[in-house]
Chains A and B, each alone.
Chain A
Amino acid sequence: MTAGTGGIDFARQLARQPLAVWLLALTAAVLFSATTEDLLPWAHKYPRDWVLPIRFAITDFMKWLINDATFGLFTFKEMTRSVSWLLDWPLTAATSLLSTGLMRGQGSDAVQLTPPLAWLAVLGVLAAMGHYARDWKLAALVGGCFLYLAMFGQWDSAMITLSSIVVAVPIGIVLGLLLGVLAYRSRWFGLAIRPVLDLMQTVPIFAYLVPILFLFGFGPVAAMTATIIYAMPPMVRVTMLALRQVADEIVDFGRMVGCTRRQMTWKVLVPSAMPSLMVGVNQVIMLSLNMVIIASMIGAGGLGFDVLSSLRRLQIGAGLEAGIAIVVLAIALDRLSQAFATRSQQMHHERPGNWVLRHPWLSFALAWTAVTGLVGLFLAPVQTYPEALQITTGSFWAELVKYINVNFFDVLEGIKNFFLLNLMIPFKRFLLDIPWVMVVGLVTLAGWRLGGRTLALLTFTLSMFIAVTGQWEKAMVTIYLCGTSVLIASLIGIPIGIAAAQNRRVGRVVQVVIDTLQTLPSFVYLMPVVMLFRVGDFAAMIAVVAYALAPAIRYTAHGVRQIDPNLVEAGVAAGCTRRQVLWKIKLPLALPEIMLGINQTIMLALSMLVITALVGTRDLGQEVYIALTKADTGRGIVAGLSVAFIAIVADRLIAAGSGRMRSRLGLGQEAGAR
């Protein structure tokens, strides 16, 4: 036997021994890093001279766009200007109505011509919408939420936030709908937009704040543009899906009565798909609210600004109050939009002749607004909630923080140090010490083993991008933070998920808790964490764990629940103990689903990590954040893309792994716990 065939045989044997491949690769990696530190320094630390100036190229490109680019008829700058102008006037109108009143003049010498809507008017109209959409209970909930905002002194900020929401949401919905319709009607456009949507949902939000800031300047319009861009993708997806799900018969019917393409879209498809489209509407609302705080970094006022500035000054009380106000607003709008979504199940009603009777709710809203407006002119408490009746909890929270710090400082510090010293710091060191060449090699190998040549090429290219743009170390810090968070989230989430699947009562409680957690804007998670642990990697990790926990629980529960009961029965019949049933039957079968849950957890963790830059991490998120404060487009985009690429690599590897596992277990290909 020659050496050559021996080698081939060996390789074949290896291919049949997946574990052996990994052991071999790891051993090689360790040997490599131990022996070559001095020989091949470039393989350990990516040399500074090799960094490609991509970020400067991007910055230059953006400068060129702003200064010189032209589309023939108009310049790029004129385009952004007109977009700003277009967005500005509805925003001004909404702000006048809800917050400032109609103003004449600019800045400090502006004169108020009319007051904004009275607080009682806003509260009444929204509560009436609640009743119109569902029932008294919803009216009470919505009314209660807005009363809360008034009582806790958050009204003014809340109205600024609300006015940007009422403008951003309809625009996001309409644009999303139009793009979705286009993607449905044109195959070509549908294929083109999918990867763009994928990327938009994995690039951290901060990263596209930077170019927006650069293009639109600092201010409410820029903030709203960012909000729209962030909140729109799900609407596009939902629209594409909803239109495709319209029954074939309905489509045939539309064609049989001779609809033109336009009639088909707007008179048949879109109205028939309305219940599903409303899901998208709800998502746009929730994402817009999620964006409130982040948008305040580029000039949105209101609650987001309050949270951000208190967070920066570490005024936990004030920040928490504003944060809770956002949650309250989110709950009210979420429930309201969901009620409207299900209300499309309306019943017939006889139509009485008179306009007022035919539109009782609209009439009520108009009358109520007029009455409160008029009365408000003479009776101040109707116009604005009296300050004397406001409650503030700021001092309570401040006291609480003080109390915790005085009494539990040692405990908390002990926990923090324990984790830092035993888990986080060693892991970070390890990641920073392995040569980058090895990491790229291992990632590529993983791609090849799990998904063949294409995946290997993808993982190789994306990880090389991070290296050649000179962000290796920051990326490793990101991975370390993300990795520890995901590990801990899984250790907590998977057992909870199993418990939820095994026990119906636990399951119901868990469901309510994670549903609530998921309506909270990500920033809100930072508050209590900062209260307890102040700033730093540990605080960031806790916030990320809290934010990213839900999918680990959800998918595990779903994975365990969907196991074929016959298999479990077979196990029991074979004399397995409960523990054996769990470990030998349920968990292995649920593993692919659990992996998808972990995948989602990683995605959420990465998106949250960028936000935790505010509490002082040193990773790619921080890089994006710095770029934002310096309006350095290239830096922001390159770092943002790197985060997205980490997400994509993790996603594709895990999806491929999970797919292989499914087919090995003989499960169907369909996946997803929804």
Chain B
Amino acid sequence: MKGSSVKLSCRGVWKLFGPDPEVFLARHGHEPDNESIAEAGLIGAVCAANIEVREGEIFVIMGLSGSGKSTLVRCLSRLVDPTAGEVIFDGQDLLRASEAEMIEIRRHKMGMVFQHFALLPHLTVLGNVAFPLEVQGIARAAREARALEVIDLVGLKGRESYYPRELSGGQQQRVGIARSLAVEPQIWFLDEPFSALDPLIRREMQDEFMRLQNMLHKTIVFITHDFDEAIRLADRIAIMKDGWIIQIGTPENLVTAPATGYVAEFTKDVPRAKVLSAASVMEPAGGDYAGEVATGDKVADIAARVEAADRPYAVVDDSGEVVGRITRQAVIDVLVGRDSGNGVKP
């Protein structure tokens, strides 16, 4: 399922705002530090970013406001031209693509959802969703048929003739999602798609999003400033601060091995049982077992079983081999957030 082939990657991407950033970068051998950037009167929106987004995964970019998330994702889709670096999509360097090639790639392979929906006010739901196809010059009947399909997919059937302003925020973002899916993109960018919604709706939309992804298996770059959201959705998370990516890893990685105090601070209030897997709280195998759990099982899901048993559970890997055991005490430690001495520090 999760192919390990890389769909989209970037290497050494810089985006500096201000006067003559190229000259500045060249002068500092493409490795300036924060002080010299500030001294030169520049803003380092993205600094030396390296990421690899794998086929079919949800890659979340997470960071506080102003940390450069939007700028990074705009570099990946080349909505802004990076000051330096390369962006490889399907083996092609996007920064070398001509204007016409870029138009083709965006028309057929990329989709984007925006924080404030970016719906066209003069078009109905149907018109908005069909718009990307209209731009490609597809005939009205064909594009409206396709649009109706995706409108149905996001649960907006019956609202086709509404104008955006007649819809609630959640419904508007459903339109935004449907619209970005109309062209069947290979890579799907979502820039804080749920931040403008209130918490209840946000929750509902996250579920909806996961439902869609389970059907569609898109390669996704998802931006958020909400760590809970990141954890709920992400296969892997990149954490950004002041333009720098400070750590990339699975939610569990970030919780168990935060690279810096900054990351640890983020992960502090995370419900650990939902993040940690059996593998990260197990101890060396031995003794006899009440049953088996898989390495990837989340503690929260197995807690009831393990707690109820009077003996530890065996932890088995994909090939069925026992790689360790998980005790009742370990599960309780995770649930109450106590340091268990397993490297799982808050």
Q: How far is the CA of A256 from the CA of B102 in the complex (A)?
A: 9
Give the shortest distance, in Å, between B64 (CB) and chain A (any CB): 20
Tell me whether B135 and A256 are in contact (CB under 8 A). no
- Inter-chain CA distance A272–B131, complex, in Å, is 14
Contacts of B105 in A (CB 8 A): 258
In A307-358, which residues have CB < 8 Å from any B CB?
344-351
Q: Which one of A249, A263, A268, A345 lies within 8 Å of B115 (CB-CB)?
A: A249
A255 contacts B by Cβ under 8 Å: yes
Contact B166 A347 (CB under 8 A): yes
Q: Of A259, A272, A349, A351, which one neighbours B121 at CB under 8 angstroms?
A: A272
Are B118 and A260 in contact, with the CB atoms below 8 A? no
Give the residues from 230 to 267 in chain A that come closer than 8 angstroms, CB to CB, to chain B.
Answer: 247, 249-250, 252-253, 255-260, 263, 267
CA distance A425 to B105 in the complex (A): 76
Interfacial residues of chain B within 146-170, with CB under 8 A of chain A in the complex: 161-163, 165-166
Contact A271 B120 (CB under 8 A): yes
Given A247-B118, A268-B120, also A256-B163 (CB < 8 A): no
- With contacts A253-B118, A257-B132, A258-B107 taken as known, whether A349 is within 8 angstroms of B161 at the C-beta atoms is yes
Contact present for B165 and A345 (CB under 8 Å): yes
Q: When the two chains form their complex, are residues B112 and A252 in contact, meaning their CB atoms are under 8 A apart?
A: yes
Taking a contact as CB atoms under 8 Å apart, the answer to whether B104 and A258 are in contact is yes
Please report the C-alpha to C-alpha distance between residue A253 and residue B123 in the assembled complex, in whole angstroms: 14
Residues 99-118 of chain B: 1 if any A CB is under 8 Å from the residue's CB, otherwise 0?
00011111110111011111
Query: Are A351 and B161 within 8 A (Cβ)?
Result: yes
Docked pose: A344 CA to B165 CA in angstroms: 11
**Counting CB contacts under 8 A, is B2 at the interface?**
no
Interface residues of A in 244-300 (CB under 8 A from B): 247, 249-250, 252-253, 255-260, 263, 267-268, 271-272, 274
- Tally of A interface residues using CB under 8 Å: 25
Q: A256-B77, A257-B131, A258-B106 are in contact. Are A272 and B122 (CB under 8 A)?
A: yes
CB-CB under 8 A from B77, the residues of chain A are 256
User: Which residues of chain B are within 8 angstroms of A255 by Cβ–Cβ distance?
Assistant: 79, 106
Q: By the criterion CB–CB under 8 Å, are B135 and A252 in contact?
A: no
Shortest C-beta distance, B94 to chain A (Å), equals: 13
B192 to chain A, nearest CB (A): 11
Chain B neighbourhood of A260, CB < 8 A: 103
Which residues of B are found within 8 Å of A268, using beta-carbon distances? 120
The CA-CA distance from A247 to B105 in the complex, in Å, is: 24
Among A256, A274, A345, A348, max chain B CB count under 10 A is at A256
Report the bound CA distance from A263 to B74 in whole Å. 21
In the bound complex, do residue A263 and residue B135 qualify as a contact, i.e. CB atoms below 8 Å apart? Answer: yes
Q: Produce 1/0 per residue, B63-106, CB < 8 A to A.
A: 00000000000100101000000000000000000000011111
Which chain A residue shows the least CB distance to B132?
A: A257
| Cβ B120 vs Cβ A258 within 8 A | no
Q: How far is the CA of A346 from the CA of B183 in the complex (A)?
A: 28
Chain A nearest CB, measured from B305 CB (Å): 47
Question: Counting CB contacts under 8 A, is B124 at the interface?
Answer: yes
Residue of B nearest to A345 (CB): B165
The one of A250, A259, A271, A348 that contacts B161, using a Cβ cutoff of 8 Å = A348
| A258-B103, A346-B163, A347-B163 known; A249-B135 Cβ under 8 A | no
The answer to whether A256 touches B120, judged by C-beta atoms less than 8 angstroms apart, is: no
Residues of B contacting A247 in the complex (Cβ-Cβ under 8 angstroms):
116, 118
Interchain CB contact under 8 A, B79 and A348: no
Which of chain B's residues 43-76 have a Cβ closer than 8 Å to chain A?
74
A350 to chain B, nearest CB (A): 7
Q: Say yes or no: A257-B79 contact (C-beta < 8 A), given A250-B120, A252-B74, A274-B122.
A: no
- Complex CA–CA separation, A260 to B189 (angstroms): 20
What CA separation (Å) do A250 and B135 show in the bound complex? 15
B329 close to chain A: CB less than 8 A:
no
Q: Indicate which residue in B104, B118, B123, B131 contacts A252 across the interface (CB closer than 8 Å).
A: B118
Smallest CB-CB separation from B176: which chain A residue? A253
Give chain A residues whose Cβ lies under 8 Å from the Cβ of B74: 252
A residues lining the B interface (CB < 8 Å)? 247, 249-250, 252-253, 255-260, 263, 267-268, 271-272, 274, 344-351
List 22 A-B pairs, Cβ < 8 Å: A250-B118, A252-B112, A253-B114, A253-B118, A255-B79, A256-B79, A256-B111, A257-B183, A258-B103, A258-B107, A258-B108, A259-B103, A259-B135, A267-B135, A268-B120, A272-B120, A274-B121, A346-B163, A348-B124, A348-B161, A349-B161, A350-B161
7 additional contacts (CB under 8 A) given A253-B112, A351-B161? A249-B114, A252-B114, A256-B77, A256-B112, A258-B105, A347-B163, A347-B166
